Amino acid sequence: MLCYETAATVAAFFCIIYFFHRRFPLLTDYPIIGRLPEVLCNLWRIHDFTVQVLKSRGATTQLTAPWFTNINYLVTTDPLNVHHVLTKNFNNYVKGPECREILEAFGHGIFAADEEAWKYNRDLFHSLFKHRSFEEFLEKTIRKKVQNSLLVVLDHVQQQGSVVDLQDVFSRFTFDNICSIVLGYDPNCLSLDFPQVAIEKAFHEIEESVFYRNILPKSLWKLQKWLQIGKEKKMTEACITIDEFIYSCIASKKEDLSRYEENETGETFHVDLLTTLMREGKGKGEAHEDIFLRDAVFNLFVAGRDTLTSALTWFFWLVATNPLVEDKIVEEMNEKLGSNEKTVLSAEEVKKLVYLHGAICESLRLFPPIPFQRKEALKADVLPSGHGVNPNTVILFCLYSMGRYEEIWGKDCMEFKPERWISEKGGNVYVPSYKFIAFNAGPRTCLGKNSSFVQMKMVATAILHKYHVEVVEGCIVKPNLSIVLLMKDGLKVKIRKRET
How far is it, in rounded angstroms, from Cα 4 to Cα 23?
Answer: 24
How far is it, in rounded angstroms, from Cα 378 to Cα 393?
Answer: 8
How far is it, in rounded angstroms, from Cα 327 to Cα 334?
Answer: 11
CB 438 within 8 A of CB 399: yes
Half-sphere exposure of 31 (CA within 13 A, CB side): 5
357, containing H or E segment:
helix 354-366
CA dihedral 65, 71, 72, 77 (to 10 degrees): -110
DSSP state of 272: S
How far is it, in rounded angstroms, from Cα 491 to Cα 500?
Answer: 26
Sign of the C-alpha dihedral computed for residues 68, 65, 224 and 392 taken in this order: negative
Half-sphere exposure of 371 (CA within 13 A, CB side): 26
Paired sense of beta strands 492-497 and 467-471, if any: antiparallel
DSSP state of 335: H
Half-sphere exposure of 180 (CA within 13 A, CB side): 21
How far is it, in rounded angstroms, from Cα 100 to Cα 79?
Answer: 25
- Asked whether residue 41 is marked as a ligand-binding residue, the answer is no
**What is the total residue count of the chain?**
500
233, with CB counted inside 10 A (0-12, 13-18, 19+), is middle
DSSP β-bridge partners for residue 470: 494
CB count within 10 Å of CB 295 equals 24
**Binding site for heme: residue ranges?**
446
**Binding site: residue ranges?**
446
